[in-house]
């Protein structure tokens, strides 16, 4: 009885497991046929990192390379199929030509030989006629015998003609042999030509492999370069923020020193002004219309100022590695530097700095968390 495999609460035969891609993954390598095992190995290899520290997989890079070199690979594969087919057809055509040449040579020789035989028969008939005429003439004149000289001349002429006919037949045979030798030589040479074509195809495959391998390394190097540039950008931005923090601390210390030296009357005036400002934006120390306390309003305003100051520093930087190229890049950098600040606050600070105004819908959203712009 065939073994059954349990998946969940159900049992399946090996055939059922192999037929179902979802179940197939439960089988060990030893139970997979060669094609499915090769597919599994390829999938596993494609999921591996493309290189140490790379965020791309082997499959990711292969997809890029397939797009870049896929046309060349397809053309070479087609050429690999076409080469033997073309040369086999070429040799088949030579074979047909050779068979036709053999037949034409035999026909030419046969025709020449037939002509020679007919000519000899005609000569023999002429000789017989000459003999008869000579005998008749002698009988009338009383001279005896046959004209031997005339017969010799006719025989000599026939010999010359038969020699010429033999030469024609030999020439036809020789020409046929020459053409056959040429066809045979061409057929033999075709194997060398085919091997040369396959050798060139192999070199093309090797060159393509080298280009793919080089591009693979270039992609990894490009990814590492981008990471290093991003790290350098963040480092410089962090250094700039540290300088800003030191300046803020110095300013705060100066402000505290000034406050310590202010008179009682000046202090009362300052507190009254701050209270009036709070009353304008909310309800004194109470909550505003959205339920935000004074502490919350001051906190979100402080977050906005920090983000805006940092955005201004990045915008005015002469270092291209610090100065963002786009608004989205500025927002992304600020979000990384201030992960605990509301994204709308970050976005508003970037918009105000790089575009000069804040989206009206965003302003309404910010009011709900206590920030009025």
Beta-carbon contacts of residue 137 (< 8 Å; ≥ 6 apart)? 143
Instruction: Report the C-alpha gap between 122 and 131 in whole angstroms.
Output: 14
Phi, psi for residue 57 in degrees, rounded to 5: -95, 170
pLDDT at 97: 80
pLDDT of residue 303: 92
Query: Distance between CA atoms of 281 and 224, rounded to whole angstroms?
Result: 49
Q: What is the pLDDT of residue 62?
A: 86
Q: Are 138 and 64 in contact (CB under 8 A)?
A: no
pLDDT at 78: 92
Residue 202 to residues 72, 82, 176, 197, 206, Cα–Cα distance (Å): 13, 14, 39, 9, 6
Residue that the structure tokens 């040449």 belong to: 101
* Each residue's pLDDT expressed in tens, for the chain with a length of 373 residues: 678 888 888 888 888 888 888 888 888 899 899 999 998 899 888 888 888 878 888 888 888 888 888 899 999 999 999 999 998 998 888 888 878 777 777 766 676 666 666 665 666 666 666 666 666 655 655 555 555 666 566 666 666 666 766 666 666 677 767 777 777 788 888 888 889 999 999 999 999 889 988 888 888 888 777 776 666 666 666 666 666 666 666 656 655 555 555 566 666 676 676 666 666 655 555 677 888 888 888 899 999 999 998 888 888 887 777 788 889 888 988 888 888 899 999 999 999 999 999 998 899 889 888 898 8
Distance (Å, rounded) from C-alpha 232 to C-alpha 255? 34
Q: Which residues contact 80 (CB under 8 A, 6 or more apart)?
A: 201
Hey, which bits of 235-315 come out as E strands? Answer: none
So what's the pLDDT on residue 207? 92
Question: What's the half-sphere exposure (Cβ side, CA atoms, 13 Å) at 338?
Answer: 24
What is the phi-psi region of residue 249: left when phi exceeds 0, alpha when psi lies from -120 to 50, beta otherwise?
Answer: alpha
């Amino acid at each position: 009885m065939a073994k059954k495999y349990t998946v969940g609460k159900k049992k399946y035969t090996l055939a059922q497991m192999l037929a179902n891609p979802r179940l197939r993954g439960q089988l060990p390598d030893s139970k997979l046929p060669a094609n499915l095992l090769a597919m599994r190995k390829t999938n596993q290899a494609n999921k591996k990192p493309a290189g140490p520290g790379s965020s791309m997989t082997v499959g990711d890079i292969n997809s890029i390379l397939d797009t870049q070199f896929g046309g060349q690979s397809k053309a070479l594969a087609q050429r690999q199929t076409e080469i033997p087919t073309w040369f086999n057809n070429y040799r088949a055509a030579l074979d047909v030509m050779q068979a036709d040449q053999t037949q034409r040579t035999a026909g030419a020789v046969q025709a020449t030989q037939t002509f020679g035989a007919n000519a000899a028969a005609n000569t023999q008939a002429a000789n017989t006629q000459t003999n008869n005429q000579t005998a008749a003439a002698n009988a009338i004149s009383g001279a005896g015998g046959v004209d031997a000289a005339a017969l010799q001349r006719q025989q000599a002429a026939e010999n010359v003609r038969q020699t010429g006919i033999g030469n024609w037949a030999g020439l036809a045979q020789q020409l046929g042999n020459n053409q056959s030798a040429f066809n045979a030589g061409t057929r033999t040479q075709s194997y060398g030509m085919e091997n040369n074509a396959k050798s060139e195809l192999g070199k093309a495959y090797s060159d393509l492999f080298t280009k793919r391998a080089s591009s693979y390394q270039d992609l990894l190097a490009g990814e590492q370069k981008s990471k290093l540039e991003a790290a350098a950008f963040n480092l410089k931005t962090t250094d700039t923020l540290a300088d800003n923090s030191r300046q803020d601390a110095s300013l705060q210390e100066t402000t505290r020193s000034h406050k310590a030296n202010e008179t009682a009357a000046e202090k009362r005036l300052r507190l009254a002004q701050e209270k009036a400002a709070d009353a304008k934006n909310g309800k004194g120390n109470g909550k505003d219309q959205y339920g935000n306390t004074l502490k919350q309003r001051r906190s979100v305003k402080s977050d906005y100022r920090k983000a805006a100051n940092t955005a201004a520093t990045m915008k005015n930087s002469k270092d291209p590695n610090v100065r963002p190229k786009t608004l989205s890049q500025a927002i992304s950098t600020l979000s990384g530097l201030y992960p605990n600040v509301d994204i709308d606050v970050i976005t508003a600070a970037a918009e105000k700095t790089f575009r000069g105004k804040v989206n009206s819908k965003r302003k309404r959203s910010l009011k709900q968390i206590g920030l009025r712009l």
